[in-house]
Structure 1
């Protein structure tokens, strides 16, 4: 797992959790309870799910990328690497 991708996923999670409806949608789509999410933050699958959540919602992807000052394509590419679908 690339440390840069993991760090990006954690930064993105902070952005997601800053908005309660968005955070609830993440939990609903991933099926994770808040405690499970917290406990699994070191797992590649959880980090991939966080970035994939953003990649699946263009408005959130663009807003998060803006907030983190990274190109949206960087978030999408990190999600793919964490999912193991690209090198």
Structure 2
């Protein structure tokens, strides 16, 4: 099992880890990556530059949250839950 967010009692590192894993999963598929870029207005350079930016990583999780099939597939692929990904998005969006 991958890191999960535990009832808001977290230093943010689990949220960052989940977001980075979700980003890797998202860009691992060309069509999904193109949709991410189109819907967020980001480009490949902005993604690379924003790897350590909680706001950008929160946007990636928001992208997944807005399309439940991707959210569920990502959670399964990175061995976590959709709820943990949503909690990570909330943590990074503070």
Give TM-score, length-normalised by structure 2. 0.85
Instruction: Name the structure where helix makes up a greater proportion of residues.
Output: 1
Q: Structure 1 segments of 4 or more deviating over 4 A?
A: none
Q: Which runs of 5+ in 2 are unaligned?
A: 1-10
Q: What CA distance in whole angstroms lies between the structure 2 residues aligned with 1:18 and 1:63? A: 13
Residue from 63, 77, 80 that aligns with 2:87: 77
- Structure-to-structure mapping, 1:52-71, within 5 angstroms: 52-71=62-81
Q: What CA distance in whole angstroms lies between the structure 2 residues aligned with 1:27 and 1:58? A: 18
What value does the CA root-mean-square deviation take over the aligned residues? 1.0
Give TM-score, length-normalised by structure 1. 0.91
Is the aligned partner of 1:9 residue 2:19?
Answer: yes
Is the aligned partner of 1:48 residue 2:64?
Answer: no
How many residues of Structure 1 are paired with residues of Structure 2 in the alignment?
A: 84
Q: What CA distance in whole angstroms lies between the structure 2 residues aligned with 1:14 and 1:63? A: 13
Q: What CA distance in whole angstroms lies between the structure 2 residues aligned with 1:74 and 1:39? A: 25
Aligned partner of 2:34 in structure 1 is 24
